Amino acid sequence: MKVDINKTSGKTSGKKITLSDKIFSIEPNDHAIYLDVKSFLTNQRQGNSKVKGRSEIVGSTRKIKKQKGTGTARAGSIKSPLFKGGGQIFGPQPREYKNKINKKVKNLARKSALSHKIKEKSLTVIEKFSFKTPKTKEFSKILSNLSLDNKKSLLFLPETDINIILSSNNISNAIVKNVSEINTYDIVNADNVIFVEESISKLNEILN
């Protein structure tokens, strides 16, 4: 499959690039996408929530009232969950949320997500560009030229360029990443995916 390579001005450069059919033209597997996105989001959870149970509360163990004759339920300790300041019943405890999926399923999910973007005509390839210093205004102008200024955009670079990354930081609907960090969630969450020309060959190495 061949697609046009655009300039940062938004115009077509006249060049085309060949996209691998094994990555961009497969029959999308939505269940693989679901599994990978679920795994990604689950792995973001820290699992640090913690409350004190009855045995962890500091307080007197004295019986707070006599067993009978009060007209109320018997009570043995101020640490009881029934009293203010007592321990909590079945409260959250630290736990591990990590969820690992098979590497082949992860690759299938990323390929499926990219194939969806091609079908939706939401994937763009642009020429290589760079900034001498971080320029949010210049980066915003590129998005505007590509008619993506009001959309969630995800830009993949062939290698980390700190000036481009810093230029995008103040734009709420733009994310810039090294193509080696590609993941299914980011692709699905973006309205449009942009690849710098040189990042396509690196993507082929990662997914093939």
Tell me the per-residue pLDDT of 127-185, one tens digit each, with 9 for 90 and over: 999 999 999 999 999 999 999 988 999 999 999 999 999 999 999 899 999 999 999 99
The arithmetic mean of pLDDT across residues 22-45, rounded, is: 95
- Residues 112 and 29: beta-carbon distance below 8 Å: yes
With a pLDDT cut of 90, the percent of the chain lying above it is 83
Q: What is the pLDDT of residue 1?
A: 84
Cα–Cα distance between 177 and 154 in angstroms, integer? 8
Domains observed in the chain: 2-46+101-207 (3.40.1370.10)
More confident residue, 33 or 76: 33
Residue 200 identity (one-letter amino acid): I
Indicate the average pLDDT of the chain.
Answer: 93
Q: How far apart are the first and last CA of the chain?
A: 16
Residue 13 token pair: 């450069």
Query: Hey, which bits of the chain come out as E strands?
Result: 2-6, 12-18, 123-126, 153-157, 174-178, 192-196
